[in-house]
Amino acid sequence: MQISDIRLIATDMDGTLLNTRHELNESFFPVFRKLKDQGIIFVAASGRQYYNLEKKLEAVKDEVIFAAENGSYVVFQDEEIHIQAIDQDIVRELIVTSKNIPNTYAIICGKKKAYVESAEPEFIDHLKLYFERYEIVEDLLKVEDDQFLKFTLCDLAGSEKNSYPHFKHLETTLQVKVSGPIWLDISHKQANKGRAMEVLQEKFGITFEQTMAFGDYLNDLELLQKAYYSYAMANAHPEVKKIARFVAKSNDENGVVEVLSELLDPVVVTNQL
């Protein structure tokens, strides 16, 4: 693989580009600058809110394409490239179902902001990590004046075993994704990171073979399937490792930046007799 083979690089954020403290290593920025100098498009593809991603990458926000809310909202320089909202009536049905699941907190992920009912401190601490703009409302069922990009549950009992079984039967008509140990995301059937990649590949005339992607969790599966150079992090979910062609070091070992650095400045190793 050579740098000239790549035109589009997309990476998940949490568990991938960010470490377990949700921090971005400063070594990313000089590498990013070199990628831009090579004319490579860089995409932050995350379940995070757009405004949160923009703040996290504030130093380069005008040069990054954001595929936020698991790909349902794609933005570049404040221009909406793609939006895949979920029907409000469906979201209300999801809210009703969620009220019967213990240890969970519902979030409507709107285009303007996120909406929650609870002000419980532990939940709000988790919420603030991923949502820059949010409003605490009396009743989620009465939220109307927004486009709904995603419905999310913060599941403090563990999303894969506690809340996911309540929504698994909807997978034929919706995207139901365990996107982290305590997160469950439900979106429009056509809303995922892979679809966001298709939109960008079509827009910029970029092929599957010219695309590189990094991910660690189940909401990254479609993303990795749209890139020939697909990397699972060493800390990735087993299902992600099954479909990726390559493995990068863990997010705490700065695995994404290491792969990109090697791509930009390959080290020639010769066998010594």
- Domains assigned to the chain: 3-83+191-264 (3.40.50.1000), 88-188 (3.30.1240.10)
Contacts of 190 (CB under 8 A, 6+ apart): 84
Helices (H), 99-176: 121-130, 164-167
Neighbours of 209 (CB within 10 A): 11
> What phi and psi, each to the nearest 5 degrees, are found at residue 128?
-65, -20
* Cα–Cα dist 133/1, whole Å: 40
Q: Please report how many Cα atoms fall inside a 13 Å half-sphere around the Cα of residue 227, on the Cβ side.
A: 30
Q: What pLDDT shows up at residue 268? A: 41
> What phi and psi, each to the nearest 5 degrees, are found at residue 246?
-135, 165
Mean pLDDT per 10-residue interval, the chain, length 273 residues: 91 97 96 96 97 96 97 96 97 96 97 97 96 98 96 97 97 94 96 97 98 96 98 97 98 98 70 32
Q: What pLDDT shows up at residue 270? A: 33
DSSP conformational letter for 268: P
CA 140 vs. chain centroid, Å, equals: 24
Q: What pLDDT shows up at residue 84? A: 97
DSSP conformational letter for 62: T
Q: Which residue, among 255, 254, 206, 266, has the nearest Cα to 232 in the 3D structure?
A: 255
Q: What pLDDT shows up at residue 160? A: 95
What is the end-to-end Cα distance of the chain in Å, rounded?
26
